[in-house]
Amino acid sequence: MESRKIQKVGAATLTVSLPKEWVEQRNLKKGDQLFVVEEGEALLLLPGPLAEERARRTAEVVVDADLCDEPGMLERVIVGNYVLGRDKILIRATQRIRSDHQDEIRRAVRRLMGIGIIEENPQRVALHASIDPSNYPIETLLKRLYNLASTMLTESFDALAHGDATLAGDAMKREDDADTMYWLILRLILLAQTDEALVERLGMRSRLEIAGNRAIARDLEEAADHCYAIASQVREVIAMDLALPASLLKALQATAELIGRAYGKALGALLSRDLKQANEALRLCAELQAQQGELVRLVMRGVKDARGILPLGTIYTHLAQVGGYARSIALIAYNRYLERATNLSRPVEPSA
């Protein structure tokens, strides 16, 4: 943190000099425009292009509902504008907004955090997103997204072990919560790309973390999608009332637990900059790959009813995908550790 003294120029003008490094990084020169934005007790200085991009992102957008002529299209347009950081979304139609479009609007509002309907009449609906990024540190949101996927996986295999279709259904319901968390993370990360002040407010140490956090959020959301598919297949297997050998159930649960440990180590390494945890996560992922062949053999040998081969094989396939994302997060944790100089890895100092 640098301090600057306020200088008086002329009779009433007060000025503050800009840090040379900050100016050079942004290629600013005499005559360039800077925009001053008041944010609570702070003043934010934005070069012209960043100010224009910020204004474009947060400006009110108008969505023509009449052009959304495919099922689900209007909902996806609303979600896309939310993710891009738009605060005001006005949906309009030339006549009355169709009933199915009203359903899509309400479904989007239920699935997006911090957005609501502030105005409505038969031909228009105004949505407003009001989110203070300071209340949503990225690491906290990533942990929440991880916990959702982890819970879905645990519930799915508990449901399979006890033949509890209701528990499998509960696991499937959590997928909407995972989507909500992912869209919020993506919104905040995209805003931080054009607003450097947000980087620190979101708990990131530097802009270098933006790309990694986006990749991690995507991996965790896709892992939750695979966990949803696992829960769906589990419910199908339970409905068949198949006689599954205890050895197969035990192997499936052991695989799920191994995946959980790999994710725990990978995410722990990421948040604590602990290279040993990252290494342990990668070791667990390698162990998981080694076990996959045995799991396939157990399915083929243990399932006597041919109807169960496909759903159990599908469960195995999705499990393998979930394990792969744990490895991806562990590798990002490695890169994040190496972003800063340490005794293990540091730049060569120039010779005298």
Domain check: are 85 and 209 in the same one?
no
Domain assignment present for residue 144? The answer is yes
Torsion sign (Cα): 281, 282, 285, 290: negative
Looking at the DSSP assignment, which residues form a beta bridge with residue 7?
15
Tell which of 129, 161, 179 closes a domain: 129
Cα 283 to Cα 152: distance, rounded to the nearest angstrom: 24
- Given this model, what pLDDT does residue 40 score? 52
How many angstroms separate the Cα of 49 from the Cα of each of 23, 54, 101, 198? 14, 9, 36, 17
Domain identity same for 41 and 114: no
> Domain containing 174: what range?
135-337
Residue at 109 is within a domain: yes
3-state secondary structure (DSSP) of residue 117: strand
User: Are 32 and 68 members of one domain?
Assistant: no
Whole-angstrom distance, CA of residue 217 vs CA of residue 209: 12
DSSP 350: P
What pLDDT does 185 receive?
A: 96
Asked if residue 70 and residue 43 are part of one domain, the reply reads no
In a domain, 348, yes or no: no
Looking at the fold, whether 140 and 263 belong to one and the same domain comes out as: yes
Distance CA 157, CA 164 (A): 10
Tens digit of pLDDT per residue, the chain (352 long)? 677 788 877 776 788 888 888 788 878 888 787 777 665 566 777 776 666 666 655 568 999 999 999 999 999 999 999 999 899 999 999 999 999 999 999 999 999 999 999 999 999 999 999 888 888 999 999 999 999 999 999 999 999 989 999 999 999 999 999 999 999 999 999 988 877 778 888 988 888 889 899 999 999 999 999 999 999 999 999 998 877 888 888 888 888 888 889 988 998 898 888 889 999 999 998 888 877 777 777 777 767 777 877 888 888 889 888 888 889 999 998 888 887 777 777 777 776 5
Maximum distance among all Cα pairs of the chain, rounded to whole angstroms: 93
pLDDT for position 53: 63
Residues 178 and 69 in one domain: no
Question: What is the reported pTM?
Answer: 0.79
Torsion of CA 208, 211, 217, 219, to 10 degrees: -120
* Cα separation, 137 vs 274, whole angstroms: 20
The answer to whether position 347 is within a domain reads: no
Do 147 and 238 fall into the same domain? yes
Report the DSSP beta bridge partners of residue 9. Answer: 13
Cβ contact 143:264 at 8 Å:
no
Distance CA 107, CA 121 (A): 18
- The answer as to whether 2 is a domain residue is no
φ, ψ dihedrals at 326, nearest 5°: -60, -40
Residues 188 and 290 grouped into a single domain:
yes
205/302 same-domain check: yes
Angle at 180 (CA atoms; ends 107, 90), nearest 5 degrees: 50
Report the C-alpha gap between 300 and 177 in whole angstroms.
35
Smallest CA-to-CA distance from 242 within 300, 312, 301, 292 is with: 312
| Separation CA 154–CA 254 (nearest Å) | 11
Say whether both 236 and 273 belong to one domain: yes
In this structure, the answer to whether residues 35 and 125 fall within a common structural domain is no
Domains contained in the chain, number: 3
Residue 350 is assigned to a structural domain of this protein: no
Tell me: do 316 and 187 sit in the same domain.
Answer: yes
Nearest to 257 by CA among 290, 222, 288: 288
**13 falls within a domain:** yes
